[in-house]
């Protein structure tokens, strides 16, 4: 079936997720009300940071992580910064106060979430752990990027105002998908103009929050797409940027979605080489050929004859049935490659599938889908990629020979023919340059933002260092001793002086040779 007649959206969503999300938080409706430095105010526990009033809140997780106590608020900004008298939107903000400070620190750390489409406050538990050392000295500020979380989300609704569902595991007719996009746009009427939810609009919001907090300079740390936001902020507001951390960096010139296919194949080759270096893994799988060839063969088989599979639900252990398709396979492979702990299962479950046993493959696919289902705002993602990436996308004929194939990138931009398009800055694709203190983190096996991207970015920076985490995937700020190194970097802003020998303890996750685990 041709991609022009049928579309598959699920794998496009999986392909841009940076981290597993953490949802549900409760915030007050406060707006900026004061003009004096940070201090406690009133018996309610309300606190003032700069000109913004905060109230106690709890940021909770549906993934089993501990709840995080914080201070939360709403902060009003113009939807269109060029017309400040027009519609206002409220940004969701959480403040994690520094452990040893009674009020707001002069140079807080702003965390910028990935996606595009993820909300920073959803990651409070992750960030609280990753920035544990840094928080001893500095406040952490989480601003839900406009269009995500509770910052005027671009959520799609049906005619009754209920969430508009898109089945991400089934194939869609082009007409059905176009109708979905059209209804989504209709539901935004009167509450949001999608043209003003780009990265440029987001960095203007960040600087407005910075000014209201009374901070002359801030430290920015971004993950995945958040590294684009961090670079753009530092480029346009260098006078207000103290330091920059880029975890899984996307260079400004990168067309998000345009290099998914070759980058995944590169990661798979590295995984294959790891297997070949281990006697038990080599003996178990090497005789059947390299992983990429095996995956493409299995994909071709499923494209001709999808398989109805009986399996156990990975969350409830209840019996289930579903259809395993070629798209299910490629979505699974790309998704689990973000995390080596899951990617270590690939050789085994592919081997099982080659022998007609598909249960484990389907169960893992469903597990991954359950982890990523509601963590990304689709409308906000379209506002970003349709303005900043789709106009620059050029199909690569070489993608036809990859595991993902050529369809994913086209599907990634499928909504852009209908979605209102904002504007990117004239210098949007210019390299991030200068002498701002910058620390870049890459996972050696990252399938979307590999170390070559980090090398590319660091070449243009005079005061930067690139740390490559051995055997790791996408997102490394919380791994091993990275929290300690981040704390030291934010204290000294000297990336080159960091003693990073502690990262040598990070290693590869051996591939499973049976469902009992891996062999030493």
Structure confidence by residue, pLDDT tens digits, 465-485: 999 999 999 999 999 999 999
Structure confidence by residue, pLDDT tens digits, 160-197: 999 998 765 555 578 889 999 999 999 999 999 999 99
Q: Are strands 47-49 and 52-59 parallel, antiparallel or unpaired?
A: antiparallel
Taking 3-state DSSP, the helix, strand and coil percentages for the chain, each rounded to the nearest 5, stand at 40, 15, 45
| Per-residue pLDDT at 101 | 64
Cα–Cα distance for residue pair 455/513, rounded to 1 Å: 34
pLDDT band at 289 (very low <50, low <70, confident <90, very high): confident
Cα–Cα distance for residue pair 141/127, rounded to 1 Å: 10
Q: What is the mean pLDDT of residues 41-68?
A: 82
Structure confidence by residue, pLDDT tens digits, 36-54: 344 544 546 789 999 999 9
Pick the closest to residue 18 from 371, 265, 314 (CA basis): 371
Q: What is the mean pLDDT of residues 365-372?
A: 72
CA distances from 131 to 59, 481, 485 (A): 16, 11, 10
pLDDT band at 133 (very low <50, low <70, confident <90, very high): very high
Pick the closest to residue 352 from 324, 384, 390, 385 (CA basis): 324
Q: Which of 28-42, 56-70, 193-207, 506-520 has the highest mean pLDDT?
A: 193-207
Assess whether pLDDT exceeds 50 at residue 509: yes
pLDDT band at 517 (very low <50, low <70, confident <90, very high): confident
| Per-residue pLDDT at 60 | 84
| Per-residue pLDDT at 442 | 98
Assess whether pLDDT exceeds 80 at residue 512: yes
Q: In terms of pLDDT, which residue wins out, 4 or 141?
A: 141
Pick the closest to residue 328 from 301, 347, 351, 293 (CA basis): 301
Identify the weakest region by mean pLDDT among 158-162, 388-392, 484-488.
Answer: 158-162
CA distances from 213 to 34, 93, 101 (A): 10, 11, 15
Structure confidence by residue, pLDDT tens digits, 312-368: 988 888 999 999 999 899 989 998 999 999 899 999 999 999 999 999 999 988 887
Identify the weakest region by mean pLDDT among 159-168, 215-224, 364-373, 388-397.
Answer: 364-373
Q: What is the mean pLDDT of residues 494-506?
A: 97
The enclosing H or E element of 453 equals helix 451-458
Output the pTM of the full model. Answer: 0.91
Exposure string of 413-441, with b = 16+ CB inside 10 Å and e = fewer, is bbbbeebbbbebeeebeebbebebbbbbb
Assess whether pLDDT exceeds 90 at residue 19: no
CA distances from 128 to 2, 133, 139, 463 (A): 46, 9, 11, 27
Q: Is 320 exposed, middle or buried (0-12, 13-18, 19+ CB in 10 A)?
A: middle
Q: Across the chain, which distance is largest between two alpha carbons, in Å?
A: 71
3-state secondary structure of 82: coil
| Per-residue pLDDT at 373 | 53
Question: Average pLDDT over the chain, rounded to whole?
Answer: 88
Cα–Cα distance for residue pair 65/155, rounded to 1 Å: 26
3-state secondary structure of 71: strand
Tokens of 267: 């990661």
The percent of residues above 90 in pLDDT, for the chain, comes to 73
| Per-residue pLDDT at 173 | 73
| Per-residue pLDDT at 482 | 98
Cα–Cα distance for residue pair 188/192, rounded to 1 Å: 5
Q: What is the mean pLDDT of residues 76-84?
A: 97
Q: In terms of pLDDT, which residue wins out, 459 or 369?
A: 459
Domain boundaries, the chain: 260-372
Assess whether pLDDT exceeds 60 at residue 25: no
Helix 291-304 × helix 260-276 angle, to 10°: 120
Placement of tokens 């960040």 in the chain: 206
pLDDT band at 14 (very low <50, low <70, confident <90, very high): very low
| Per-residue pLDDT at 16 | 35
Q: What are phi and psi of 71, to 5 degrees?
A: -115, 130
Assess whether pLDDT exceeds 60 at residue 508: yes
Structure confidence by residue, pLDDT tens digits, 439-452: 999 999 999 999 99
CB atoms within 10 A of CB 251: 20
pLDDT band at 408 (very low <50, low <70, confident <90, very high): confident
């Amino acid at each position: 079936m041709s991609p022009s007649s049928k579309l598959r959206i699920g794998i496009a969503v999986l392909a841009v997720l940076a981290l597993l999300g953490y949802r549900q938080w409760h915030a007050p409706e406060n707006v900026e009300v004061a003009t004096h430095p940070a201090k406690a105010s009133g018996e309610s526990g309300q606190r003032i940071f700069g000109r913004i009033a905060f109230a106690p809140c709890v940021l909770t997780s549906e993934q089993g992580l501990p709840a995080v106590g914080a201070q939360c608020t709403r902060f009003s900004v113009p939807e269109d910064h060029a017309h400040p008298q027009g519609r206002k939107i409220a940004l969701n903000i959480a403040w994690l106060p520094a452990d040893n400070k009674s009020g707001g620190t002069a140079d807080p750390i702003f965390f910028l979430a990935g996606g595009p489409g993820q909300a920073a406050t959803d990651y409070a538990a992750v960030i609280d752990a990753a920035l544990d050392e840094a928080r001893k000295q500095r406040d952490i500020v989480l601003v839900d990027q406009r269009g995500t979380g509770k910052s005027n989300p671009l959520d799609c609704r049906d005619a009754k105002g209920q969430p508009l569902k898109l089945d991400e595991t089934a194939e869609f007719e082009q007409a059905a998908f176009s109708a979905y996009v059209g209804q989504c746009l209709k539901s935004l009427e009167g509450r949001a103009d999608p043209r003003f939810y780009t990265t440029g609009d987001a960095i203007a919001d960040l600087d407005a929050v910075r000014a209201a907090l009374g901070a002359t300079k801030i430290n920015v740390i971004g993950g995945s797409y958040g590294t684009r936001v961090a670079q753009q902020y530092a480029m346009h507001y260098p006078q207000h940027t103290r330091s920059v951390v880029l975890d899984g960096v996307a260079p400004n010139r990168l067309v998000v979605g345009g290099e998914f296919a070759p980058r995944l194949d590169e990661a798979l080759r590295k995984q294959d080489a790891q297997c070949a270096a281990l006697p038990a893994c080599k003996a178990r799988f090497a005789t059947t050929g390299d992983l990429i060839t095996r995956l493409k063969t299995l994909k071709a088989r499923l494209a001709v004859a999808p398989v109805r599979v009986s399996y156990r639900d990975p969350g409830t252990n209840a019996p289930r049935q579903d259809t395993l398709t070629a798209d299910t396979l490629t979505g699974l492979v790309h998704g689990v490659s973000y995390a080596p702990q899951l990617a270590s299962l690939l050789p085994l479950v592919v081997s099982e599938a080659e022998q007609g046993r598909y249960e484990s493959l389907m169960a893992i696919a469903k597990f991954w889908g359950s982890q990523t289902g509601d963590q990304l705002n689709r409308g906000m993602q379209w506002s970003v990629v349709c303005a900043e990436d789709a106009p620059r996308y050029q199909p690569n004929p070489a993608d036809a020979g990859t595991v993902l194939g050529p369809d994913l990138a086209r599907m990634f931009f499928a909504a852009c023919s209908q979605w209102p398009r904002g504007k990117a800055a004239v210098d949007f694709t210019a390299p991030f340059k200068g002498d701002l203190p910058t620390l870049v983190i890459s996972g050696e096996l990252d399938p979307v933002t590999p170390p070559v991207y980090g090398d590319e970015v660091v070449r243009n920076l005079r005061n930067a260092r690139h740390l490559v985490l051995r055997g790791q995937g996408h997102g490394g700020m919380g791994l091993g001793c990275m929290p300690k190194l981040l704390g030291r970097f934010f204290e000294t802003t000297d990336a080159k002086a960091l003693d990073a020998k502690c990262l040598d303890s990070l290693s590869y996750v051996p591939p499973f040779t049976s469902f009992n685990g891996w062999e030493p």
